[in-house]
A and B are shown apart, each in its own frame.
Chain A
Amino acid sequence: MTRLWPDGSSIQVVLSSPGIPGRFTWHGQMHPIEAINNRWRVQMEWWREGIWRDYFKVTTTTGLLVVIFHDLHTGDWYLQRLYD
């Protein structure tokens, strides 16, 4: 089963290189990123508030497969999807 946070669950990210996440902290636990499996950028609804996000589908050394995103308007990071 996949768990989904439509608006994202806040995480803290440390970058490995500009724009690229190296590890993140979620609910107080640190998850080093093992591999980035995919990434994509969404830029929509600019005629309203606008969505501008970089998404990353990553696996962590802690055994998670998650989708996290970087809100490019605010600079904040969120976890959106956790695969079982």
Chain B
Amino acid sequence: MNIYIELHCHSNFSLLDGASHPEELVSRAAQLGMSALALTDHNAVYGAARFIRAAQEYGIQPILGAELTLAEDDNPDHSHHLTLLVENQAGWHNLCYLISRAQHNAPKGQAVLPFAELTGCTNGLIALSGCRHGLLATAVSSRKSRQISRKTAVSAARRYLDLFGRDNFYIELQNHYRPDDGLRNGRLTALAHHLKLPCVVTNNVHYHTPERHQLQDVLVCIRHLTTLDESAHLRRLNGEYYLKTAGQMAALFPDQPQAIANTLHIAGRCQFELHYGLQDLPSFPTPHGMSTGAYLRRLCQEAIGQRYPQPASRLQEQVNHELTIIERAGLANYFLIVWDIVRYARQNGIRCQGRGSAANSLVAYLLNISPVDPIAHDLVFERFLSQERAIAPDIDLDFDAARREEVIQYLYGRYGADHTAMACTFVTFRAKSAIRDIGKALGLTPELVATAVHALEMAQSPKADNETEQGALKLLLDLGEQIEGFPRHLGIHSGGMIITGSPLMGRVPTEPATMPDRVVVQWDKEALEDVGLVKIDILGLRMLSAISDAAALIGESTGERPDLDTLAFTDTAIYEMIGTADTIGVFQVESRAQAQMLPRLKPTCFNDLIVAISLIRPGPIQGNMVHPYLRRRQGLEPVTYLHPLLEPALAETLGVILFQEQVLKVARDLAGFTPGQGEQLRRALSAKRATEEIEKFRAAFITGAQAKGVTPVIAETVFEQLLAFGGYSFAKSHAAAFAVLVYQSAWLKRYYPHAFYAALLNNQPMGFWNAAVLVNELRRQGFPVLPVDIHTSQPTCGLEGNGIRLGFNYVKGFHEEHIDRIMDGRMQRPFTSLADFCQRTHLPRTITENLILCGAMDGWSLPRRQLLWELGTLHLPENGLPLDITPEPVSLPPLTTAEAMLAEQSVLGLSPGDHIMALYRAELRKHYILGSQEVTAVPDGQWVQVAGLLVVHQSPPTAKGFHFLTLEDEAGMMNVIVSPQVYGRYRSTIRSERLLLAQGQVQQQGGVTNVLADKVSGLR
């Protein structure tokens, strides 16, 4: 029988201190027969959700708590520890509050709570007096006279007694075989006896097994930026801080059976379970005190009136159906809060739209949250929300990335800083960085660490010069393996916001983020989902910024800003453009893989765009669905169904399962599942849940199918297909929301390419291709790309004539302040010479040099080299005094085209003039080396040589070692496929050269040209 429970236990969420994952601790505790385990990380509950999940899995009771750092107001440098355990809801509230106060009270990572702040915040908490750094332990161990130290200890204990009450305060005893442990425990026991206080034994656990004490030592070194050799005073004396058996603990305290038994007694009291839910959200204010449900209904009805002149009865039925489920689940308030965010954005001209499963909801569409009409696209509401699974579903909102901050500020303003925070993220140790950190702690030479990193990259065993070094390398890699995935520090989640009705601090601990005035909760996205705290994702999407900017540029140049939200998705010219893979810059369908697929798919309608987005995903690729679908699409294989009942669900994708929603439909049509049950099945399949759960669904599926006259063999086969598909699938609603952006961006590219590309250039980095490729593409389409010009350029890229003028944002090293100085100077009068420019802008010399090099000063018709020379002769005083100019005539040879191009490339990251391959063209022709246009006309199977600039190099995990190179020249792009064998021969060339010459066989397939390389070399 279990006689000991560990009540003081740190996981690796005691950052850079604890040396085991919560799961490892729980699993070990279960193995030792403990029926419960407490988690008491330093001033944090970061690991609580993972801890609870693991505890449930292992069938043991999780006890939540923390080890709090306290300090006296008058002596803030002398901090001490106190172990707190949560007994009930009030205790959780107080723990959250105390941790938050401790975190907000001190610089990041150094949380400390002023002692006085405990007052009034101890209800529901059980306090253990702490480790050897506890107030009582330090008092009794003090070097002062026995009498004074005893007096201090008694008064400290009385303070805790007053704060927590006699039933809730225990003297904590620990024995780690340190020289002072016996003495301290004796005095603490005497103190307890004197005050008639109970004692409790704990082990201040920092790792689950003894072996991990090595890693714990290393973590201490990483935390203090030191080495093992120099950190004896910081490290623990031995490795006794592991989870011990009841027998080991009893042996450490042979005279304290009651203090051991008290661990069970305390655990028995701490039965608290975390519960969150919709009640945490603020109540949305409705007009005239209407209920949120009634108000939501009214908004929907108004929207129907506006959007559908003659609403079909099905529409009204669907709205009623959704509203009933929404109200029953208590989600009306949640919808109103999201609606309000979207309304704010639209009123302020911030482009936004919902993504994810929310687009399955007609209510979300009517409230303008999602851009997709779910009825028109045959989406399934239950994928989003169902009676069977009435929890708050995630609503993810994408906003114009440049203006997302305004939305976040709106929420802070509307609900108050005490009620609003962001989810955190945990930055974890990654293999290579971990090796470097551990290498430093072990005091290894940088060369030896580099050897280990290299071995890791190559997945080889490292080789050292001698046995000692070999041993060190082994130790290094072993520790690296253990530490991988450990949380290192906190960051801010890109968009997850938590908004609560009651102050956040009492619901979940918060702490300041690195970003000023920003607060994060102590849980990341997964943890929030686990505990059920509602999060709204406010995400930034650069494509929305680019679409917004493009529309503004068009408005400025034509006087009419296009309304992209009213586009009807029916323009055949758009689909023709996409079908020829003329998609560079278009959202989601511009990648190399899409370009290979689109000419075979030949999309002709909006639904085809949804398919295009969904096909090129790891899921369908790994699930082997892409080629069957495309073959059926091209009429190369018949469309068949395993059973006629599958046709309604799968007809839209020619019998191939492509969308998550189809799992629900198949389960409904073939096995009679309700949509809600179908969603439960889908979740079980996608999460690869325990086989037990899946087997239950399998049995229900086969029975249900039999009732519909489907043979068990067919039902079984279909179920297996769903199982294979489950883990990789993609929601159609999500793809549909994204398809709207595909269409809008394609429309811009088709009709206003210069405005679209200027907007893309101003929002880099984004998408698949870099700025240089975008510029080359625009030029190939016949639109001039004009260089940066100090006389005409704007801060960002803009339109000029029928082309674009590069903006100052592309000049290396430029800051806003530099741009302002040029714009201000230009406003006064045009710059007449380099000296005039320098005199009036006082820009740093390197910035002016960059302007010369990228051609921004070509307007004076002076060679760039001469301007550079002149710049060198100018004396540029910092204080703005008149310049001492002594111009001298000079004759220098102008830069060659290649030199100029290289300089532009280095300053701008692109070259506004000719493509570099154009310089080689005549020579290449002489040697019958083909360009991107010529190679498309070569018959299948013929051997060729092609050359171009390497712009993309991909080797996706799904490609089994094949590498895909995209070579660009002045006329376009070409695809070169390199087999694993060929890559092995030319690896270093491909990785180091930018201009490549490839020799190989042409493959013409479905309108796509590839060269299967046999040989690759650098172009000299």
Using CB atoms and an 8 Å cutoff, list the residues of chain A in contact with chain B.
38-47, 54-55
- Contact indicator A47/B228 (Cβ below 8 Å): yes
- Contact indicator A38/B182 (Cβ below 8 Å): yes
| A41 cross-chain contacts in B, Cβ below 8 A | 176-177, 237-238, 240
Most chain A CB neighbours (cut-off 10 Å) among B176, B237, B442, B472: B237
- Contact indicator A43/B442 (Cβ below 8 Å): no
* Complex CA distance for A38 and B181, rounded to whole angstroms: 9
Most chain B CB neighbours (cut-off 10 Å) among A39, A43, A44, A47: A47
- Contact indicator B179/A38 (Cβ below 8 Å): yes
* Complex CA distance for A54 and B178, rounded to whole angstroms: 10
Is B213 on the interface with A (CB-CB < 8 A)? yes
12 contacts between A and B (CB under 8 A): A38-B179, A39-B182, A40-B237, A41-B237, A43-B213, A43-B238, A44-B232, A44-B237, A46-B217, A47-B214, A47-B228, A47-B472
B479: nearest chain-A partner, CB-CB:
A47
| B472 cross-chain contacts in A, Cβ below 8 A | 47
| A55 cross-chain contacts in B, Cβ below 8 A | 179
| B442 cross-chain contacts in A, Cβ below 8 A | 47
Known: A47-B228, A47-B442, A47-B475. A40 touches B239 (CB 8 A): no
| A38 cross-chain contacts in B, Cβ below 8 A | 179, 182-183
| A40 cross-chain contacts in B, Cβ below 8 A | 177-179, 181, 237-238
Q: Please provide the 8 A-B residue pairs with the shortest distance between their CB atoms, ordered closest to farther.
A: A41-B177, A43-B238, A40-B179, A41-B238, A43-B239, A40-B177, A46-B214, A47-B228
B179: nearest chain-A partner, CB-CB:
A40
Most chain B CB neighbours (cut-off 10 Å) among A40, A45, A55: A40
B240: nearest chain-A partner, CB-CB:
A41
Known: A47-B442, A54-B177. A42 touches B238 (CB 8 A): yes
Number of B residues with CB within 8 Å of any CB on chain A: 20
Using CB atoms and an 8 Å cutoff, list the residues of chain B in contact with chain A.
176-179, 181-183, 213-214, 217, 228, 232, 235, 237-240, 442, 472, 475
* Complex CA distance for A47 and B221, rounded to whole angstroms: 13
* Complex CA distance for A42 and B214, rounded to whole angstroms: 13
* Complex CA distance for A77 and B475, rounded to whole angstroms: 29
Question: Distance in Å from the Cβ of A23 to the closest Cβ of chain B?
Answer: 21
Question: Distance in Å from the Cβ of B207 to the closest Cβ of chain A?
Answer: 13
| B217 cross-chain contacts in A, Cβ below 8 A | 46
* Complex CA distance for A62 and B228, rounded to whole angstroms: 41
* Complex CA distance for A39 and B237, rounded to whole angstroms: 13
| A45 cross-chain contacts in B, Cβ below 8 A | 228
| B181 cross-chain contacts in A, Cβ below 8 A | 40
B472: nearest chain-A partner, CB-CB:
A47
| A46 cross-chain contacts in B, Cβ below 8 A | 214, 217
Question: Distance in Å from the Cβ of A8 to the closest Cβ of chain B?
Answer: 17
- Contact indicator B237/A42 (Cβ below 8 Å): yes
* Complex CA distance for A43 and B238, rounded to whole angstroms: 4
* Complex CA distance for A43 and B228, rounded to whole angstroms: 13
Question: Distance in Å from the Cβ of A55 to the closest Cβ of chain B?
Answer: 8
| B213 cross-chain contacts in A, Cβ below 8 A | 43
A37: nearest chain-B partner, CB-CB:
B182
| B475 cross-chain contacts in A, Cβ below 8 A | 47
| B240 cross-chain contacts in A, Cβ below 8 A | 41, 43
B232: nearest chain-A partner, CB-CB:
A44
* Complex CA distance for A28 and B238, rounded to whole angstroms: 33
| B232 cross-chain contacts in A, Cβ below 8 A | 44
* Complex CA distance for A55 and B179, rounded to whole angstroms: 9
* Complex CA distance for A55 and B237, rounded to whole angstroms: 12
| B177 cross-chain contacts in A, Cβ below 8 A | 39-41, 54
Most chain A CB neighbours (cut-off 10 Å) among B179, B235, B475: B179
B181: nearest chain-A partner, CB-CB:
A40
Question: Distance in Å from the Cβ of A70 to the closest Cβ of chain B?
Answer: 12
| B183 cross-chain contacts in A, Cβ below 8 A | 38
* Complex CA distance for A41 and B181, rounded to whole angstroms: 11
A55: nearest chain-B partner, CB-CB:
B179
* Complex CA distance for A42 and B177, rounded to whole angstroms: 8
* Complex CA distance for A40 and B239, rounded to whole angstroms: 12
| A47 cross-chain contacts in B, Cβ below 8 A | 214, 228, 442, 472, 475
A51: nearest chain-B partner, CB-CB:
B238
Question: Distance in Å from the Cβ of A71 to the closest Cβ of chain B?
Answer: 14
Question: Distance in Å from the Cβ of A41 to the closest Cβ of chain B?
Answer: 4
| B235 cross-chain contacts in A, Cβ below 8 A | 44
Most chain B CB neighbours (cut-off 10 Å) among A38, A43, A46: A43
Given contacts A40-B238, A41-B240, A43-B240, 13 further A-B contacts (CB under 8 A): A38-B182, A39-B177, A40-B177, A40-B178, A40-B237, A41-B176, A41-B237, A43-B239, A44-B237, A44-B238, A47-B442, A47-B475, A55-B179
Question: Distance in Å from the Cβ of B805 to the closest Cβ of chain A?
Answer: 61
B176: nearest chain-A partner, CB-CB:
A41
A50: nearest chain-B partner, CB-CB:
B214
* Complex CA distance for A30 and B179, rounded to whole angstroms: 26
| A39 cross-chain contacts in B, Cβ below 8 A | 177, 182
| B179 cross-chain contacts in A, Cβ below 8 A | 38, 40, 55
* Complex CA distance for A38 and B184, rounded to whole angstroms: 12
Question: Distance in Å from the Cβ of A47 to the closest Cβ of chain B?
Answer: 6
| B228 cross-chain contacts in A, Cβ below 8 A | 45, 47
Question: Distance in Å from the Cβ of A28 to the closest Cβ of chain B?
Answer: 30
* Complex CA distance for A42 and B238, rounded to whole angstroms: 5
| B239 cross-chain contacts in A, Cβ below 8 A | 43
* Complex CA distance for A55 and B238, rounded to whole angstroms: 12
* Complex CA distance for A45 and B442, rounded to whole angstroms: 11
Question: Distance in Å from the Cβ of B219 to the closest Cβ of chain A?
Answer: 14
* Complex CA distance for A84 and B833, rounded to whole angstroms: 93
Question: Distance in Å from the Cβ of B618 to the closest Cβ of chain A?
Answer: 41
| A44 cross-chain contacts in B, Cβ below 8 A | 232, 235, 237-238
A53: nearest chain-B partner, CB-CB:
B238
A41: nearest chain-B partner, CB-CB:
B177
- Contact indicator B182/A43 (Cβ below 8 Å): no
Question: Distance in Å from the Cβ of B433 to the closest Cβ of chain A?
Answer: 20
* Complex CA distance for A25 and B228, rounded to whole angstroms: 37
Question: Distance in Å from the Cβ of A51 to the closest Cβ of chain B?
Answer: 10
Question: Distance in Å from the Cβ of B253 to the closest Cβ of chain A?
Answer: 14
* Complex CA distance for A46 and B239, rounded to whole angstroms: 11
* Complex CA distance for A44 and B232, rounded to whole angstroms: 9
Question: Distance in Å from the Cβ of B226 to the closest Cβ of chain A?
Answer: 14
